[in-house]
Chain A
Amino acid sequence: MDLDALLRCVGTTSCVVTQLTSGMIIGMLLFLIASGVTLIFGVLNVINFAHGSLYMIGAYAAWTFYQLTGSYFVSALGAAVAVGVLGILFERVLMSKVYGSNVLMQLLVCYAVVLISDDLIKIIWGPVPLSMGMPPEFRLPPIRFMGGVIPPFYLFMILAAMAIGLLLWLVIVRTRFGSIVRAAAINGPMVSALGIRVNLYYAAVFGIGSALAGAAGALAAPVRSLTPGMGFSILIESFIVTVIGGMGSIVGAFVASIIIGLTRSFGSIGFPLFVDGVMFLIMALVLIFKPSGLFGRPHR
């Protein structure tokens, strides 16, 4: 516990800027993953416990594409698309078979997929942590801002994640596709009765959610070390985010991700041992006072 250090940090702009940026990159990675979880839950009413694995596969795929092509942008895009396709396969072949069943069956399918993907990663890429290194596109002098230092890649990460989030929100709120998805979220059989092939939309939503996780993996690859099992801890945090923001709400996921990201970055100075505890405390408070989450509608 070192609250003095926290106070000293808040007193200097350089420290605030540095912590804000690192909090934002944690938050934005979380947002991409949590928005996928929340989108899939909102529409399909299933929790994808294997979402962290998709993030992990995205990171490893980006690493491989980067080794092959040497271009970070191509590899990030490739990873997102590849994981999106994988997500559609996962939905069609496995998840769609247990939609009607109880949570136990869905849990077991996801548990199996997590086990299989962790082991496959070990077989294909080896158990040793991999590191991608900073791509040449971003080997630029850091940006100086109000005494703080911001690596250009961090800025790119934050902006890219925000752009993806905005795009997702526009698609859901403004397009025909989005209205059908929102209608299907409320009453799937009714939408299906109107002559719309709901299953295709379900698969598409799962694909989009997976692609978001893949993109998060690709964005994390240059700054995180890649290990089998890396998806699980971020999955737990993204659950916390969805609970705080409200299940099914993308705006909620955005706000909650920033709250958690900043808690992590500033907490690591002031109360490093209790960061996890504080995150859970925030979540418990939300659950007690507003169980549907900050932006969620009361659950049916």
Chain B
Amino acid sequence: MVGRWRDLGLAVLGLMLLLLVPVFGAPPAIRDFIMFGMAYGLLAMSLNLLIGYTGLVSFGHAMFFAAGAYAFGLAMQSGKFSIPGAFVLAIAFTATMALIVGAICVRLNEIYFAFLTLAFQMLFYNIILGWVSFTGGDQGLMGGIPRPKFLGIDLADRTQLYIFCSIAFIVCIAILRQIVTSPFGYTLRMIRDNQERAAFLGINVPLVKLACFVISACIAGVGGILLTLFVSGAYPNFGFWTTSGEAIFMILLGGSNVFLGPLVGTVILRLLNDITVSYTSHTELVLGIVILVLVLGLRKGPLDLLAERWENRRQAAAQAVRDAADKDAGKGGT
């Protein structure tokens, strides 16, 4: 219970930090950076629930990011929904889609799972591209997303939008944290480490995996909604395979064994992107080389490595203390 209160406190603290940014009148560039970071951060964090905690390597997670974005954008453009209504509708749509894709994919082994999620993502992407009259094809959802006032909140105002996104973001992170520390979260880890054993203990492994898949998709969908609100449009590349690849890379950069690692990875990748863009137009080349160096050189994410080092040192220190204590005890005995 202590951990839970501490997590809640940290969440409130995080929210306050985020809200301090506009109070101190930070330049719009920084605020934009944070808003992009929140949207992509939710994508990476939710994907890590699959990859890091359950061992399901999905290569198609961006389809749910795009599903949330498009469902929300289309609902708002239809003019029949308020923002909360469209929000709920978009999440329901994403959840339904995840339920169908997940039901087909979760029983498969690791490699099949990776490329089938990729294949479904490309199907979704092709539908977005092909159904021009509905989705606007490769132009994306044009004409802006209307943002009518609700409950006195006006999301057309940049500051209010920022506050709204920050709250949604922190709530999602808190939900993820809650899941990871709950018995359900430990079941996920058991499935990752040994799914036969989990099955022997009476756990319905495919069902738990499916539940995890749907939850994770919904949170990615929230990320998509935030991005849609922010850029006032939805574009097919939200659901392109490179977006999924980037999300996986964010997890690698930040580390999959640290809860907030993917978020750190998001910040690193976005910074890396912004820096390379200002020097060269060949960002993909640079990105590819960085990935190869990290994967082949370090064999794991830089932050995972740091966390491991720290853990080793802590254990070595504890061991040293214990050895010293043993020695003292030995002396005392003679």
Contact = CB atoms under 8 A, between A and B. Distances in A.
Interface of A: 41, 45-47, 49, 94, 97-98, 101-105, 107-109, 111-116, 118-120, 122-123, 232-233, 236, 239-240, 243, 247, 273, 276-277, 280, 283-284, 287-288, 291, 299
Question: Chain A: interface secondary structure?
Answer: helix
B198 to A, nearest CB: 18
A190 to B, nearest CB: 22
Contact of A280 (B108, B110, B123): B123
Contacts of A109: 291-292, 295-296
A116 B295 contact: no
Interface string B287-299: 1110110011001
Interface of B: 51, 57, 59, 104, 107-112, 114-116, 118-120, 122-123, 126-127, 130-131, 241-242, 245, 248-249, 252, 282, 284-285, 287-289, 291-292, 295-296, 299
Contacts, number: 109
Name which of A47, A98, A119 has the most chain B CB atoms within 10 A of its CB.
A119
Contacts of B127: 276-277
Nearest to B121: A236
A283 B119 contact: yes
A277 B123 contact: yes
B288 A113 contact: yes
A273 B128 CA distance: 11
A276 B292 CA distance: 33
B248 A108 contact: yes
A288 B104 contact: yes
18 contacts: A45-B111, A102-B57, A102-B110, A103-B111, A107-B114, A108-B248, A108-B291, A109-B292, A115-B285, A116-B284, A116-B288, A116-B292, A239-B115, A239-B118, A243-B116, A276-B123, A280-B120, A280-B123
A123 B248 contact: no
Nearest to A232: B241
B110 A108 contact: no
Given A97-B296, A277-B123, A287-B104, A112 B291 contact: yes
B189 to A, nearest CB: 15
A232 B289 CA distance: 20
B249 A120 contact: no
Contacts of A49: 59, 115, 118
B130 A239 contact: no
Contact of A236 (B51, B119, B131, B248): B119
